[in-house]
Structure formats: C-alpha cells, structure tokens
C-alpha cells in the first residue's frame, strides 16, 4: 500500500489563483519532500520539511507538516501556466535510511 | 555542473531478452536509487545502493538486479524482460540523510 497519498488526483485552476495539494502518510518520518515533474522529464526537488518543522517557505511555495495527523500540504501562490505539472510528495521513513517512498501525485493544470 | 544521466532514453525489447539500463552521476553521491513509474502507482523503488559494493532490494525488485562497482554508476539489469516490466525507469542519487534526490530524465522501456 502507498505510504503517501495525494489529494486531489487532479486540479485545474486559472492563472493567478492559488493551488493547494495535500499529502497523507502512514508511518513515522524523518522528513517529507515535494517534487515536481513536467511531462516526459525527471522529478525536480521543490522543498524538504523535517519532522520537527511545521512550516516552510520557498518563493511562491509554502509547505506545512502536521505529524499528529500525518499530513502535509503544498500551497502554490499566484500560479502561472508554467506551474502546470505533476506534483509528488515523498517521505523518508524513520529508520528507513535515505530512500524515499512516493505518493501517486497530483496533476495540476494552470490555464491562462 | 554535476548531473545524473540515463541511457538509453527509449528502448524496445522482446520478451525474454536481457536488458541493461545505464545510470551515471557526477555528484559524487554515495546513495543511488532505481524507481519505476506507472500510471496509478506513482514511483516505486526497485533497488538502491548506499555505496560501492552495497545493493539492497526495494519494493518491486523481482526480475531486476543492480551492481555497484564504483561511485558514479548503478546499472539496472532485467534478467529476462517481461511485458509487465514495460514502464518508465528513473535513476536518482542523493548525498547525506535529509538531503533531496536528484533524478535523471528517465528511460522509457517497452517489452513486446
């Protein structure tokens, strides 16, 4: 079964709007990471939040982590057409070494 | 600039043939990973290595093998290709714990 589950599976918004994606996981983690994947390309790291952190910002990205609920959210503010991509959360499990377990992803489409 | 490269980008092979996918990184990372990506499953871990001569099985390792003879390379071998192994394969590398993964651009493998 998947460690990470993203919600929604697909999201379509207008340029300038905010996009929020959620991720839930099942077991204790060292950190949670978000990645973006453009069509036909590899994944690109966006942001990493450690288990003892609650919120992190990077440019137009804001990530929150609630370890009591085993959930995280990624907010993209003032979205642009170039933000159209798939977004994945990934967890590094406590005691699991450096490997990551990925969710199934959210497909974001930003329309002009 | 450091990078991670995969070859070939596309491969078509027949059922039963042995296939090797190459992965080469110039980050000097100890940790390397192979994932496969299929619709509805996200990315699933096949094998991983934490250093030279170290290899470990991931979630979906049956029918695959890897070897790590140097820091830069982690080739993935399909011993006897099956149609169920038609997928997009991604190689990734990372440094220390709590560091992100750097991904290659993937190899699309079709087994006919």
Q: What is the pLDDT of residues A38-48, one digit of tens each?
A: 998 999 999 99
Question: Nearest-CA residue of chain A relative to B59?
Answer: A101
pLDDT number for residue B84: 97
Q: Does A41 touch chain B (CB under 8 A)?
A: yes
Q: Does A27 touch chain B (CB under 8 A)?
A: no
Instruction: Report percent pLDDT > 90 for chain A.
Output: 88
Q: Which of A2, A1, A4 shows the shortest CA–CA distance to A90? A: A4
Q: Does A42 touch chain B (CB under 8 A)?
A: yes
Rounded to the nearest 5°, which phi and psi values hold at A83? -80, -10
- Is it the case that residue B17 has pLDDT exceeding 60? yes
Rounded to the nearest 5°, which phi and psi values hold at B110? -115, 125
| B48 contacts B34 by C-beta, under 8 angstroms | yes
CB-CB neighbors (< 8 A) of A1 in chain B: none
Measured between alpha carbons, how far is residue B53 from residues A3, A60, B31 in Å? Answer: 29, 42, 12
* CB–CB contact A43 B58 (8 Å): no
β-bridge mates for residue A53, sequence order? none
* CB–CB contact A97 B45 (8 Å): no
Q: Which residue has the tokens 């750097």?
A: B102
pLDDT number for residue A3: 64
CB pairs under 8 A between A and B: 62
Q: In what order do the strands lie in the sheet with A5-7?
A: A5-7, A19-24, A71-76, A61-66, A55-58
Write out pLDDT tens, residues B42-75: 899 999 999 999 999 999 999 999 999 999 999 9
β-bridge mates for residue A106, sequence order? A87
| B49 contacts B56 by C-beta, under 8 angstroms | yes
* Strand pairing class (A106-111; A85-93): antiparallel
Exposed (0-12), middle (13-18) or buried (19+): which is A63, by Cβ within 10 Å?
A: buried
Residue range A24-49: average pLDDT? 95
pLDDT number for residue A1: 42
Write out pLDDT tens, residues A66-103: 999 999 999 999 999 999 999 999 999 988 888 999 99
Residue range B68-90: average pLDDT? 98
């Amino acid at each position: 079964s998947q460690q990470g589950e993203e919600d929604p599976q697909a999201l379509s918004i207008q340029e300038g709007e905010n996009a929020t994606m959620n991720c839930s996981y099942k077991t204790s983690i060292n950190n949670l990471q978000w990645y973006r994947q453009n069509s036909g390309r590899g994944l690109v790291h966006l942001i990493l939040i450690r288990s003892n952190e609650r919120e992190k910002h990077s440019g137009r990205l804001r990530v929150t982590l609630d370890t009591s609920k085993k959930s995280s959210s990624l907010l993209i503010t003032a979205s642009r057409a170039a933000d159209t991509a798939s977004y994945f959360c990934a967890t590094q499990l406590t005691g699991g070494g450096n490997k990551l377990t990925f969710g199934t992803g959210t497909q974001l489409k930003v329309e002009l | 600039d450091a990078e991670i490269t995969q070859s070939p980008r596309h491969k078509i092979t027949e059922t039963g043939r042995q296939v090797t996918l190459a992965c080469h990184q110039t980050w000097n990372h100890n940790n390397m990973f192979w994932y496969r990506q299929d619709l509805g499953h996200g990315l699933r871990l096949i094998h991983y290595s934490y250093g030279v001569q170290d290899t470990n099985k991931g979630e979906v390792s049956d029918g695959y093998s890897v070897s790590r003879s140097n820091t830069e390379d982690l080739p993935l071998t399909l011993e006897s290709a099956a149609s169920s192994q038609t997928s997009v394969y991604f190689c990734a590398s990372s440094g220390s714990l709590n560091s992100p993964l750097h991904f290659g651009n993937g190899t699309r493998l079709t087994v006919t």
